[in-house]
Structure 1
Amino acid sequence: MRTQLLTSLFFIIAAVEATVPFPRSTVNGACTGEGGASGVCVATSSCTRDGGTYISNACPGTPDDIKCCTKPKCSSGDNHGDCRWKQNCTGAKQSLIANLCPGPDAFQCCVGEASETPSGGDNLGEKILAKAKTQEGVPYHWAGGNCKGPTGGGFDCSGLVSWAVCQVTGRDLFSEGLRVTRSMYCAKESKLKYKKVAWANRRAGDAVFFGGKCDCANNPEGIHHVGLMMNGGWDMWNALKTGTNIRHDNFKNWDESPCPYVIRFD
């Protein structure tokens, strides 16, 4: 009888594990390398051949020889920059040079005055948003992320926001107990050290939250999602849920409304 119970338990556990979503990367897809550098999942031989360096465990779900490859320095003549995805090289004085970086054509050498820093607006929130956008395509991973970058192969919603804050400002919300979505939203301004602004006055770079009635007093656990506003409308940059990658979402027609106020990083 005991043997039968153990056997049944084994198959139940195996069935549950088989249904749990696991964040996966793709060959030639985006990843985050050492120090938060923009990277691409390629074969190690391809990475080293093209002058890159790689780290392990950042391209989950790919063959063993596929690693996260980065190349933080690239140059052509007097033009110096770093390898990144095309969509992250959009500064007015930036340009792209092909055939200097590992991976697909979409991953190129970005040169120009702003090559070390993603372009963004003048306010702090827009700079945090610009930093978060460098993680486009990185998988969602529940509880993923710290000040150094993704953990477990990705970020969750608050992990992405907290990482971007840490990268831009040096402030570690993880160690301050403000990393969890509900903790961030429900914290008093004196602890948060950022302003809470009415939803109607939202702007790009503000942190927007979701969670039913957003009731910090009676149901803080209901506050479950956070993203960064991309404008004063309905567009948000976020790590949404298991099975998705970091991306832009428009939430105008979502069943759930945003919480009454946003957090402004000024």
Structure 2
Amino acid sequence: MGTKKPNGKSGAKAGKPKKRKISPEVYEAEIFRLQTEFVKLQEWVRHTGARVVIVFEGRDAAGKGGTIKRITEYLSPRIARIAALPAPSDRERGQWYYQRYIAQLPAKGEIVLFDRSWYNRAGVEKVMGFCTPQEHSLFLRQTPIFEQMLIEDGVLLRKYWFSVSDDEQLRRFKSRLNDPVRQWKLSPMDLESVYRWEDYSRAKDEMMVHTDTAASPWYVVESDIKKHARLNMMAHLLSTLEYEDVEHSKVELPERPVLSGNYQRPPRELSKYVDDHVVALMGDAE
């Protein structure tokens, strides 16, 4: 994250040249190529019965959701599932902490993408006081054991931390204020993350010390440029999984049957058709 300088600027940003951005044409070509590879991965998972868990963590507005959206865009929701759990209910608060996350784990032939995960306890719960210091300490001790159990049982676990600078995070928050399709992404909890930047940084550093293990490492994605972050994360994830092409049984379309001519469609008046909204739009444009 970089240490704070007296002028309030992050040390990691001091004197850093502005990064050149990928062209739209190259980005679109590469994102489609990677999405094609994810379809191949999906078919390999389905064919082999592999179980894949991908954990997405990081700062608010770091680009996790956009990356998940691009990964799953062409995948079957029956195979690739997104787990984005709400705040725990009263009953769930009385369970073993990991219990509600275990219920989301994949069966054979499934991929689960955790849009935030059990690491809520290491971040927002720790910083906002939603858990006790004892519960937080227990989490840091138990999580490597929990993840080791998953790995030993054959789960392919990958963990990604999306890292965004404080300036860029604030810019993204501001852009959401008057955006009618993204206002829902901005909550009072998000704004708290601006004021508690250093608290979240300390919590993240402590989390890394305890849970960045040889068996279950964290991979950090620099996400100040969203398109770069998506491509980098997707390419890296694919490189860590030893999947291969799976042969499909070829499907051939049959010849169109000759119609008997005895069938007649019911009159249109008997059905409720959707209004032709497009015609109204085209009329306004003329």
Range of TM-score over shorter length: under 0.3
Give the TM-score normalised by structure 2: 0.27
Give the TM-score normalised by structure 1: 0.28
The structure with higher relative contact order (CA 8 Å, sep 6+) is: 2
